[in-house]
Amino acid sequence: MRRTRAFLPTMKEDPSEAEVISHRLMLRAGMIRKVAAGIYNLLPLGLKVLRRVETIIREEMNRAGAQEVLMPLVIPAEMWKESGRWDLYGKELLRFKDRHDREFCLGPTHEEVITDMVRREVRSYRQLPLNLYQIQIKFRDEIRPRFGLMRGREFIMKDAYSFHATERDAEREYENMYNTYTRIFERCGLRFTAVEAETGAIGGRFSHEFMVLAETGEDVIVSCGTCGYSANLERAECRPPEGGAGEKEKAMEKVHTPGVKSVEEVSRFLGVSPERLIKTMIYETDKGPVVALVRGDLEINEAKLKRLLHCEWIALADEEKVRGVTGAPPGFAGPVGLEVRIVADHSVSTIVNGVTGANEEDYHYINVNPGRDFAVDTWGDIRFALEGDPCPRCDGRLSLSRGIEVGHIFKLGTKYSEAMRATFLDEKGVERPMVMGCYGIGVGRTVAAAIEQNHDEKGIIWPLPLAPYHVYILPVNVKDASMREVSERIYRGLTDSGVEVLYDDRDERAGVKFNDADLIGIPWRVTVGSRVKEGKVEIKARDRNEAEIVDIEEAVGRLVQRVRGGT
Ligand code: 9G3
């Protein structure tokens, strides 16, 4: 592609609205342009990268035995009412009526549509298993779309759904998709990890998230270097502490602590370390109020608490609710004397002579001992893991890192097939609900994550498999006939060899061209400068500092070999 013909509006200045590097660089490199909040145009350079990711996904999904379909963006309300999700989601589900006043929504995901498609055609176990996927636009009306393609309202997802006669076969397909996702992200040239994850609202018991490792990622990954255990922070298990403090229990006492509320204030006022505090949080749930306890230096993990309580929803109680349960304002809550269900994290079990709120304004108890001074209804792991915690699976230590979720695979079970009567006759002629799985990849988000992981102060550094072009030809001065002639020759030689070239034939200062080449991140650059007189050109990789001077005749061969070799 000749730069003078290319619709490739690069920008020198940093766009103010961009808060993360990938958003900033995708705007500056002329890859995307905003149409509305969370809604973007993909310009030629951006679309080329997106298509690279889609091609890799398609090839690997097809190799894995999945079949591509295309479902509509516009979904009739009826099937979301059948699954019970029409009333479960709020404004995030964009709903509208057609000219006949019939209700529809823009598809945020397609479990209902695919289950409806399959239930109409599949009656026998002989027709299973099936794995159907699409690469399609989704719409989720996020309150605050941010970070460009990373968290858009309209985005492109590969979503796959599998249907099985048995749980066992669904497990097999889950493994198959796990391995397929591993191949997809390896082929994208990304550093990633798969972590155990929560299943959230869509139900099912088990899921894995595929995270592109990046310091600017929003998701926290907990991993053990010894045994390879890894989970997202919401899910990461904590090993219960060994043995108690061993000191003698003392008599509980109420002490006056005027206006002393937070863990820091209480531990400072009473001269005790946070490890000795029993932090008491009041929650509301669909099963009524719950008191959750955790050691003072730790934090409650609401996803774990929700799972332990098997409740539909959970929310921190507001001041009024706290007063209702404890009789005191927030900051003085404690488990002693409460008639509400008490759930405690294992970290509380080793506290001896602890400190907690006295359920009375401006008062705390000291020398509180679990078991003697209050009973716990349910013990469990309801805290967030910390850097350095003992690994729950081996004698190693946990470390925390950050990543960007680009893929998520779920065991769905029969949640949708039961709700929508997607059944089949098994070999004994018994009617059973199909067992399902679902598997998503954020295509645009994968592009953005690749930039978050691969950039420097000058711009993007594309992993070769995702690069929009493989080689950037940079004549230092297009007015110089020999530079122009050599550039054209190399351009033709590479193009004839199937190498994709961006040829900067602009009549621009060399500095402008070098900056652009670094900004848009093409993996290889050929500089055609004053050395053409000696029959030489300079070849340089975007991710390395040193360049090499080669004979013009060798340039094409070297580059074809590098691009095909994938280095
Ligand atoms: C909604 C809205 C937002 C949503 C959902 C439904 C996320 C919703 C979870 C999934 C699960 C999997 C198939 C591909 C992989 C992910 N956000 N999810 O169900 F109505 Cl507004 O989408 N679906």
pLDDT of residue 206: 74
Nearest residue CA, atom 15 of ligand 1?
440
**Beta carbons within 8 Å of 100's beta carbon, 6+ residues apart:** none
Pair 186, 465: CB distance under 8 Å: no
Positive or negative, the Cα torsion across 329, 333, 338, 341? Answer: positive
Cβ of residue 234 lying under 6 Å from some atom of ligand 1? no
Spacing, Cα 199 to ligand 1 middle (Å): 11
Instruction: Compute how many other C-beta atoms are within 10 angstroms of the C-beta atom of residue 423.
Output: 17
Nearest to 290 by CA among 276, 311, 261, 319: 311
Give the number of the atom of ligand 1 that is nearest the alpha carbon of residue 161. 13
Which pLDDT score, from 0 to 100, does residue 100 have?
A: 98
The preferred substitution site among 202, 416, 443 for testing ligand 1, maximizing ligand atoms within 8 Å of CB, is: 202
Are 475 and 528 in contact, with CB atoms under 8 Å apart?
Answer: yes
Task: Say yes or no: CB of residue 438 within 6 Å of ligand 1.
Answer: yes
Ligand 1 atom nearest the C-alpha of 440 is: 15
Return the H-helix or E-strand segment holding 117: helix 111-119
Question: Cα of 150 to ligand 1 centre, how many Å?
Answer: 16
User: What count of Cα atoms within 13 Å lies in the side-chain half-sphere of residue 97?
Assistant: 4
Most informative mutation of 81, 85, 94, 109 for ligand 1 (most atoms within 8 A of CB): 109
- For ligand 1, the distance from its centroid to the CA atom of residue 224, given in whole angstroms, is 29
> What's the CA-to-centroid distance between 255 and ligand 1, angstroms?
50
Structural domains for the chain = 43-237+400-452 (3.30.930.10), 253-380 (3.90.960.10), 469-565 (3.40.50.800)
Do 438 and 159 form a contact (C-beta atoms < 8 A)? yes
CA triple 330-336-341, angle to 5 deg:
80
Nearest protein CA to atom 1 of ligand 1, as residue: 108
Return d(Cα 541, Cα 524) in angstroms, integer: 5
Q: Are 535 and 552 in contact (CB under 8 A)?
A: yes
Q: Which residue has the tokens 């007063």?
A: 323
Atom of ligand 1 minimally distant from the CA of 439: 15
State how far the Cα of 201 lies from the Cα of 130, in Å rounded to an integer: 24
Determine if ligand 1 sits within 6 Å of the CB of residue 202: yes
Whether the Cβ atoms of residue 57 and residue 190 lie closer than 8 Å to each other: no
Q: What is the atom index within ligand 1 of the atom nearest the CA of 88?
A: 20
Q: Whose CA is nearest to atom 17 of ligand 1?
A: 108
Cis peptide before 335 (omega within 30 of 0): no
**For residue 105, which atom of ligand 1 is closest to its CA?**
20
Q: Are 491 and 509 in contact (CB under 8 A)?
A: no
> How far is the centre of ligand 1, averaged over its atoms, from the C-alpha of 36 (Å)?
22
Nearest CA to ligand 1 atom 22: 109
CA–centroid distance, 152 to ligand 1, in Å, is: 14
The response to whether residue 89 sits with its C-beta less than 6 Å from ligand 1 reads: yes
> From the CB of 108, is ligand 1 less than 6 Å away?
yes
Bridging pattern class, strands 398-413 and 219-224: antiparallel
Whole-number Å distance, alpha carbon 401 to ligand 1 midpoint, is 25
pLDDT digits (tens, 9 = 90+) for 405-449: 999 999 999 999 999 999 999 999 999 999 999 999 999 999 999
Class of residue 428 by CB neighbours under 10 A (exposed 0-12, middle 13-18, buried 19+) = exposed
Is the CB–ligand 1 distance for residue 230 below 6 Å? no
- DSSP annotation of 15 reads P
> CB–CB of 283/292 below 8 Å?
yes
Distance CA 225, CA 388 (A): 11
Phi first, then psi: what are they for 355, rounded to 5°? -120, 140
Tens-digit pLDDT string for the chain (567 aa): 999 999 999 999 988 889 999 999 999 999 999 999 999 999 999 999 999 999 999 999 999 999 999 999 999 999 999 999 999 999 999 999 999 999 999 999 999 999 999 999 999 999 999 999 999 999 999 999 999 999 999 999 999 999 999 999 999 999 999 999 999 999 999 999 999 997 766 656 679 999 999 999 999 999 999 999 999 999 999 999 887 667 999 999 999 999 999 999 999 999 999 999 999 999 999 999 999 999 999 999 999 999 999 998 999 999 999 999 999 999 999 999 999 999 999 999 999 999 999 999 999 999 999 999 999 999 999 999 999 999 999 999 999 999 999 999 999 999 999 999 999 999 999 999 999 999 999 999 999 999 999 999 999 999 999 999 999 999 999 999 999 999 999 999 999 999 999 999 999 999 999 999 999 999 999 999 999 999 999 999 999 999 999 999 999 999 999 999 875
Which ligand 1 atom is at minimum distance from the Cα of 140?
21
Decide: 173 in ligand 1 pocket, CB within 6 A.
Answer: no
Instruction: For ligand 1, say whether the CB of 93 is within 6 Å of any of its atoms.
Output: yes
Which residue is closest in CA terms to ligand 1's atom 9? Answer: 202
Is any atom of ligand 1 closer than 6 Å to the C-beta of 408?
A: yes
For residue 141, give the ligand 1 atom closest to its CA.
Answer: 21
Evaluate: CB of 436 within 6 angstroms of ligand 1. no
Half-sphere exposure for 195 (CA within 13 Å, toward CB) = 28
Q: What is the pTM of this model?
A: 0.92
Expressed in angstroms and rounded, the spacing between residue 447 Cα and the centre of ligand 1 is 20
The verdict on the CB of residue 379 being under 6 Å from ligand 1 is: no
Rounded Cα distance between 27 and 190, Å, is 22
* CB 92 near ligand 1, within 6 Å: yes
Q: How far is the CA of 403 from the centre of ligand 1 (A)?
A: 20
C-alpha of residue 184 to centroid of ligand 1, in Å? 21
